Amino acid sequence: MFVPHTSCSLVIMENADPTARKDLEMFFERLVPEDTAYLIHTAEGSDDSTSHIRTVLTRSSEVLPIANGEMQLGTWQGVFLFEHRRKPHQRKIAVTIIGE
């Protein structure tokens, strides 16, 4: 799976309790705060450079094993698109399947 964008990313994350995702968002808001004063790539707003940095700290692709026609995710794993911009965006995900 691959996202052709530079301000959102793919993460494999705890899928059961939404508070886990909430914590992840709060953590990233503290690690890469949108009002980071020293950043200069802010033509599209204060969430411009921070979106790219958050993407690099996570990732644009995820690789998952498939068996019997099903993704072999663990019980608690889900694949999530992690949006790093404030405004809603339409996002595409490219899925490539390799094998017989």
What residues make contact with a second copy under the rule CB under 8 A?
2-6, 11-14, 17, 19-20, 22-24, 26-27, 30-32, 36, 38-41, 43, 49, 52-53, 55-65, 72-77, 94, 96, 98-99
Compute the Cα dihedral for 62, 66, 70, 72 and give only its sign: negative
Give the nearer residue to a second copy in terms of CB position, either 77 or 86.
77
Q: How far is the CB of 75 from a second copy (least distance, A)?
A: 8
CB of 9 to a second copy, least distance (A): 9
Residue 48's contacts (CB-CB under 8 Å, 6 or more residues apart) are 7, 41, 42
- Nearer to a second copy by C-beta: 4 or 88? 4
Taking the complex as a whole, the smallest distance from the CB of residue 29 to a second copy amounts, in Å, to 10
Residue with structure tokens 């909430």? Answer: 22
DSSP state of 3: -
Q: Give the list of residues 6+ apart from residue 24 with CB closer than 8 angstroms, or none.
A: 11, 13, 82
Smallest distance, Å, CB 45 to a second copy? Answer: 13
